[in-house]
Amino acid sequence: MPQDSLNSKQIAQVVDLLCEGEIEGFPNAVHPDGVKISRTTAKEQYFIGSLKDVFFNNTPVLAPEAQVNGDSKLTDPGIQQHLNFDLGDGVFENELGTQDQPKLSAFTNSTNRTTVVVNTEVPKATVPPGTSTNLLTYSADGSPVTQQITDADVDQVNVTVGVNALSRFKENGEIKGSIVRYKIQIQYNDGGGYSDVPLAGSYDKNGVYLGDGNFEIRGYTPDLYQETRAIVFNTAKTSDPNNFPINIRVIRTSQEVRDFSKETVNDTLTWFNLVKIVTDKTRYPNSVIFGHKFDAQQFPSIPRRSYRIRGLKVRIPHNATVRDDGSLEYSGTFNGTFKAAREYTNDPAFVLYDLLTNTRYGLGSYILTPEERAEAEKNGGDNFEGTSDVAANLDVYSFQQASAYCGTLVPDGFGGTEPRFSCNVCIKTQSDAFKLVQEMCSVFRAMPFWEAGGISLAQDRAEDFTYIFNQSNVTEEGFSYSGSSMKGRPTCVSVKYFDNDARDFRTELVELNSQFVDSTDPNIDFLEKYGYNKKEIVAFACTSRGQAYRLGKWFLYTAHRETEVCSFQTDMAAGITVRPGDYIKISDPVRGGRVVSGRVTSGSTTTAIKLDRSDTEMFGASAPPSFEFHTILPDGSFVQTTSSIVGNTVTPNSALALAPAAGAPFNIGYSDIVLTKWRVLTVEEGEGVYSITASAHEPRKFDIIEDPNARFGVRSFTQLGAKPDAVTNLQLEEELYEEGDKVLQRIKVNWQQSLRANEYEVEYQLDVDNSVKVTVPGTAFDILDSRTGAYTVSVRAVGYDLDVERTGKRFSSPTTATINAVGKNEPPSNIGSLNITPIDQHTAELHWPEAGDLDVRIGGTIEIRHNPRTTGDIKWSQSEKIVPTVNGSTTRKIVPLKDGHYLVRAKDSVGNYAPLSGIPSVLVDLPEPQDLEVVQTFTESPSFPGTFSQTFNSTTEGGITLQADGQIDDITDFDSVTNIDFFGDVVPVGSYIFQNTLDLGAKYDVELLANLQINTINPDDFWDSRSDNIDTWNDIDADDLSETNAELYSRSTNDDPNGASPSYGTWEPFANSTKRGRGFQFKVEMETDNDSQDVVVQTLGVTVSLQRRTEQERDISSGTAAKAVTFPSAFYSTPSITITATNMATGDFFELSSVSRTGFTITFKDSGGTIVDRNFDYQAVGHGKEIT
């Protein structure tokens, strides 16, 4: 028989929202010659090319070497061979975030579905008589089956067709598959005829798609097979309601020609249903969306998706050109205007500019002026469209200067170059505005500040000095300094960045070396000298290893060489000139030891500058022959020139551009007095003064950070021979964890960080199994889904340089630890407590706190038992399972309400019970009911005269037990038998039926209360009977035997139970319940799940009671004869009667007679004994109500 080859498939549909705003697109959607594929003229090919930039579970959907041409299809062999996943009939679409973008045509969410059941055979054409059976295919259409859509809101339909079976049975007994071909056609009410439906949307497809509207089912199936075709209407036509109704028809097309005298063919095509769909019309304007449809069998769950894109289009300066890497290159002079069209760039300065000015997803609503916001809103919240539309509150020139610095090419560490700073980030969550702006500025070492009514950028970059300060232009408090502790300075920094090639985060390690610390000792180990103080930082929006490395160097350099902060107050002239980010020089005599600064006096020229002090005042007897002279010119510019001095006149080597004005500050620097350099952090205006805070500045750092000779290889400051230190404090711990609907165990491995370790190698082995090695970046690792046994775990620290392929890795000596994993063999903990709340006279609710063990809550159970004993030692083994076990996550259960103790016990997913000690219980001690009459009590124990089935009355154990299955003939050595009554294994089930049947004489609702006391034994529990190791015994006293149970059952009949053939109902369990019937029989069912454990029914009985009942009637006329009263329903026994007469005269009396369970007779007489007519009320109180 052939294999059933027709199987339905599930199509996974995923639509991802990538970002907000228009992007350029996918970088690898290009032709083989590198030319970009047009989304306008070759949209399908663009979708295919973009799959190179789409990753499922970190694997590209389409391999990079695939060549996408102008006519490529996803089904082309050249494309298929480079697909890393078998996507079946995959559909891929994307939109790049424009305002007027269309919806994804193949990805719709239905807002309303209406199913029309068609269930009609689609007939095939009649083959003319005499047609040769050698003609394998007869090409003719059968009669169509048509459905009509009148609802103008419907924009898509699903047509479900199929076969109940598809096969050919040949006369020789051979079974083969067959072929069914059909087509689907559509007709709009626009005067046109039928046309084949276009292929669009998703469908379950098995077989071959032959072309638009024509389909084929090929293969063999003995049972039902269905497939669904999705038909999306032409929106250009459905937008006009007059084009409705729309007709959809299915037609059976060509068929195989067979000799039906020799073959039986099952190939009936049925149109099962039509689903009319009104879809969601959302276009997601200004949102980048990517839709995927693919065969779901490729993945156990929806795959993790990631995308490589060229991101948001932003406004860029008019003289900027976007390089291939996304950075900006400038030509000419910036005039303050932008290009007309937005372009993609990863330049951080203008990405920040876009964020600050966009009113839709940025801060434009706060930064733009009202007029600018109005202009922006015309464009859907985007930036302005005009080339000269510049935000008045932003200093665009400072952004352009920062951008030019960002785009400068610097060494990338691999022998090439890259932009100094790039911004590649996906901001996926709403962020605090100030924090986000700070993070964006951190990408390119910038600092925003408010100046003259607008926001400007200051950047930590190489620039000229702009001002000088000395005692003459600061307040008398002078300069105040503060610094950081050497102990707190990092000696190693780990920079986290996103590696685009690995599509995951990576870290770059930078260690302290002589570039960061003044040292002339080439052999010094800075980590040993200063200690190992590692800091971890995140390179926000960084995808370049080189950029991350430069950030690490900048971080260490500033931490060690720019540690001081200087604060002082100055006059207005300097305060309004200096801005945050400016570089200044300070001459402080407190540090320099002499005053070599002051102010320029009147009479200065460009070649002779007059000072307020002479050379002897500053230098003593001998002034240096030349020095560096610094001052501020009238236009505010800073000047530094080599000069000499005679008296109080300084002569520069070359004439200045302007003569310094009187009062301008000056500083002199030379070999003995070096002026300190600072970068301004803040400028705050006070009353008549300005407070300035500046941080130490070392101009050499930029050359060090961007060292053109730097390579990602052996670094001169790394000791290649030094291995990482061995890890310490290796700890192993076993714990349970949740995975889906399962509870598994794992070994948690933790250790302390090792000096110079880049990563760690963990090797573990279970018993004598093969060892497993893994490499981890941190100091923790989990052995998932661990098993029971002894685990040996070794951890080695691994160190390496950046050029690890050349220098190799260095391993520390291993640190080893062991753990004996017990898995889920450890018993769970007991439930914390147990409480009960009565509901009515029959039931109550038990409630308890949630189980503390994961493997009880998931996959485990809670067992509920009842012990009728109210005092003494309440044992688990003497308790019955009063209700079925409940799920381990349950915290409450309705139970029958009875006297005695209720107990709950946790049982984990592998069958381990919680310990016997500590099982929670709750006592119920019910008062005697006042409204019940006990009509009969059945007590079977201790004689048990009833009928046994695989049970017997064991005088030794004191009750009914399950019998053993051993035969006397099987005993070969009587001396070896320790218990003749229980030779062999205990049978799993047995029963005992009560001797007597309850006959109430009529049908009543009765209260049945079980009286059942049990015990669980190990029937062969003698020392000589046990041959296994005593360490494996879970119990010696037989108190923890949990695998037996006994339960009382009843069945009833409405017939006379003593009659010839009464008809009984089914046996039903009961503990405390109400049953209806005339006759009742009782039995106890006994069971064990362990052939070494037996249940003993020690006390067995049933108490039968009837509910108290009152019948009454008012204002009855007795008449002039004896009045017979019949109760509406008979009592079980004669009730008590109370008569209340309402109109008796003096001397009247009444007589009651014939009082029974069904009624009574009453006669009223006067004082002379004559019967008189009187009115009376009666009340009858008894038990039971006969049901007729």
Residue 867: name the closest of 1094, 1099, 1037 by CA.
Answer: 1099
Q: Give the three-state DSSP class for 66.
A: coil
Residue 1167: name the closest of 1186, 1151, 1188, 1146 by CA.
Answer: 1146
- The pLDDT value recorded for residue 206 is 36
Give the C-alpha separation, 756 to 742, whole Å.
40
> Domain boundary at 924, 951, 983, which?
924
**Residues 79 and 167 grouped into a single domain:** no
Q: Which ranges of 250-339 would DSSP assign to H, the alpha helix?
A: none
Residue 1170: name the closest of 1142, 1139, 1149, 1141 by CA.
Answer: 1149
**Residues 813 and 863 grouped into a single domain:** no
- Hey, how many other C-beta atoms are within 10 angstroms of the C-beta on 1066? 7
**Residues 35 and 87 grouped into a single domain:** yes
- Hey, how many other C-beta atoms are within 10 angstroms of the C-beta on 374? 11
**Residues 403 and 488 grouped into a single domain:** no
Q: Is 1166 inside a domain boundary?
A: yes
Q: Which ranges of 217-331 would DSSP assign to H, the alpha helix?
A: 235-238
pTM of the model: 0.52
Amino acid at 37: I
Rg (alpha carbons) of the chain, rounded to whole number = 48
Answer whether 762's CB lies under 8 Å from 790's CB: no
Q: In what order do the strands lie in the sheet with 225-232?
A: 110-122, 269-279, 156-163, 225-232
Residue 642: name the closest of 606, 668, 665, 620 by CA.
Answer: 668
Q: Is 712 inside a domain boundary?
A: no
Q: Is 2 inside a domain boundary?
A: no
- The pLDDT value recorded for residue 1096 is 94
Q: Six-digit token pair at 553? A: 């160097």
**Residues 625 and 493 grouped into a single domain:** no
Q: How many domains does the structure of the chain reveal? A: 9
**Residues 321 and 441 grouped into a single domain:** yes
Q: Give the three-state DSSP class for 986.
A: strand
Q: What are phi and psi of 28, to 5 degrees?
A: -100, 10
Q: Is 465 inside a domain boundary?
A: no
Q: Is 722 inside a domain boundary?
A: no
Q: Is 281 inside a domain boundary?
A: no
- Angle CA(6)–CA(11)–CA(13) in degrees, nearest 5? 175
**Residues 1086 and 949 grouped into a single domain:** yes
Q: Is 1090 inside a domain boundary?
A: yes
Q: Six-digit token pair at 1161? A: 């007779």
Q: Give the three-state DSSP class for 578.
A: coil
**Residues 100 and 185 grouped into a single domain:** no
Answer whether 727's CB lies under 8 Å from 752's CB: yes
Beta strand pairing status for 892-896 and 597-599? unpaired
For residue 31, the enclosing domain spans 11-106+286-307
**Residues 583 and 693 grouped into a single domain:** yes
Q: Helix, strand, coil proportions of the chain in percent (round to 5)? A: 10, 40, 45
Q: Which residues pair with 494 in a beta bridge?
A: 509, 536
> Domain boundary at 1051, 1072, 1105, which?
1105
Place of tokens 């097309």: 253
- The pLDDT value recorded for residue 131 is 66
Q: Identify the CATH number of the domain in which residue 856 sits.
A: 2.60.40.10
DSSP 131-156: --TT--EE------EEEEE--TT--E
Please list, in sequence order, all residues whose beta carbon lies within 8 angstroms of the beta carbon of residue 896, skipping any fewer than 6 positions away. 842, 843, 844, 866, 882, 883, 1070, 1071, 1072, 1073
> Domain boundary at 821, 847, 875, which?
821
**Residues 269 and 175 grouped into a single domain:** yes
- The pLDDT value recorded for residue 200 is 41
**Residues 592 and 693 grouped into a single domain:** yes
Q: Which residues pair with 1107 in a beta bridge?
A: 932
Instruction: State the 10-residue block means of pLDDT for the chain, 1188 residues long.
Output: 54 84 90 85 87 87 87 82 72 85 75 88 82 63 92 89 87 74 90 76 38 75 86 83 92 76 84 89 85 72 87 93 94 92 94 89 85 72 58 90 94 88 89 87 87 78 89 92 80 89 85 65 62 85 90 86 91 89 89 86 94 89 88 91 92 94 91 82 90 90 76 34 80 90 90 87 82 89 89 89 50 90 86 91 91 89 92 88 91 92 92 90 85 91 94 91 71 54 78 95 93 85 51 54 90 94 93 92 93 90 93 93 94 94 91 95 93 94 93
Beta strand pairing status for 492-499 and 534-538? parallel
**Residues 1095 and 951 grouped into a single domain:** yes
Residue 923: name the closest of 846, 1010, 1015, 839 by CA.
Answer: 846
Q: Is 270 inside a domain boundary?
A: yes
